Amino acid sequence: MRRGLAGALLDLKSLPARLADPARRREPWAFVHNVGDGDYVVVGAQLLGNLKDYAGLKPSDRVLDIGCGNGRVAEQLAPFLRGGSYVGFDLSKAGIAACRRRFAGRPHMAFEHLDVWNGEYNATGRMPEADVVFPAVDASIDLAFATSVFTHMRMPGLRRYLAESARVLAPGGRLAFTAFALTQDRRASEVFAFQPFDETSMIIDPRSPERAIGHWRPALEAAVAGAGLTLAGSWNGAWAPPVQYDGGQDLFVAVKA
Ligand SMILES: C[S@@+](CC[C@H](N)C(=O)[O-])C[C@H]1O[C@@H](n2cnc3c(N)ncnc32)[C@H](O)[C@@H]1O
């Protein structure tokens, strides 16, 4: 309900852009599935740019979008991928339905719904995050990415998603994900007042821990290594200074040997 109302406000803000530009009238409504603040096109383009600049995204890549929401990055990827392919999955039935409608007739863009439990997004979901199997066969993906998804997951589920990423990545494949990587110097900011939760993480809302979860950086790095991935780089996002790249959350890129 809270996310839906916040989504309705975003929809109101988007009205001028929708009225001014006919191409934007087909954008999904945030009250149906709210993937967060900001202009749908501007944020999507920023995320695509970061995948190109930091994770080496190429038009020929086979891409997996973990928690694709309502297609904010898919919208940018559809014209970019030439020779490549895309599969996105999400726990939101409405988000996936909207994507399937919008990308119908584009065979290189596929979308899967998984009824995964998440306290913030799908509290009635039947599948625990720790049991999820990604919709891709072993070693079939060049670039997997999760933008603003691990920031809603506790560590056991996150470890599973890292292991699944390692399974589906081809040798040399990359995983890009965003996180709130907590350190003693960067563990709260004006907007994100993180408070203690468990030994690996902090949260902002005890009534809904999955609303935003920060993970202690050493635990995050250990989870990446535990999944058999090698951390290639990480960059601080604008949520807490000092900022090292053009993104809100911290960006991590890991590689499968
Ligand atoms: C803030 S939105 C970001 C959506 C999309 N990645 C983007 O950047 O536009 C978070 C998304 O993660 C999805 N999500 C949360 N937990 C998930 C999980 N365990 N498995 C798959 N999707 C999940 C939500 O349904 C939501 O679409």
User: So where are the chain's domains?
Assistant: 37-256
Residue nearest to atom 15 of ligand 1 (CA): 149
pLDDT at 30: 87
Instruction: Report H helices in the chain.
Output: 2-20, 40-55, 72-80, 93-102, 155-168, 217-226
CA neighbor of 32 nearest in space, from 90, 95, 120: 95
Distance from residue 34's CA to the centre of ligand 1 (Å) = 9
What atom in ligand 1 is closest to the CA of residue 122?
25
What is the DSSP track for 189-239? -SS---EEEETTEEES-TT-GGGSEEEEHHHHHHHHHHTTEEEEEEE--TT
| Torsion angle in degrees (nearest 10) through CA of 100, 89, 178, 160 | 180
pLDDT at 35: 81
Whether the Cβ atoms of residue 253 and residue 233 lie closer than 8 Å to each other = yes
Please choose from 31, 40, 90, 154 the residue to mutate so as to test ligand 1's pocket, defined by most ligand atoms within 8 A of CB.
90
Write out the two tokens for 50: 């970061």
Please give the DSSP secondary-structure letter assigned to residue 116.
B
What is the DSSP track for 74-97? HHHHHHH-SS-EEEEEES-HHHHH
Sign for the CA dihedral angle at 40, 43, 46, 50 comes to: negative
**Tokens 């009250």 found at:** 31
Q: What are phi and psi of 113, to 5 degrees?
A: -100, 130
| CA–CA separation, 87 and 75 (whole Å) | 12
In this structure, how many other beta carbons lie within 10 angstroms of the beta carbon of residue 166?
A: 21
Residues with beta carbon inside 6 Å of ligand 1?
A: 35-36, 47, 67-69, 72-73, 90-92, 95, 116, 118, 121, 129, 147-149, 152-153, 157
Predicted TM-score (pTM) of the model is: 0.96
Q: How far is CA 170 from CA 25, 64, 136, 137, 166, in A?
A: 38, 12, 11, 10, 8
pLDDT at 139: 98
CATH number belonging to domain 37-256? 3.40.50.150
**Tokens 């050493």 found at:** 218
pLDDT along the chain (257 residues), means of 10: 87 91 87 86 97 98 98 97 98 96 95 97 97 98 98 98 98 98 95 96 97 98 98 98 97 98
pLDDT at 25: 86
Using only C-alpha atoms, the chain has a radius of gyration, in whole angstroms, of 17
pLDDT at 64: 98
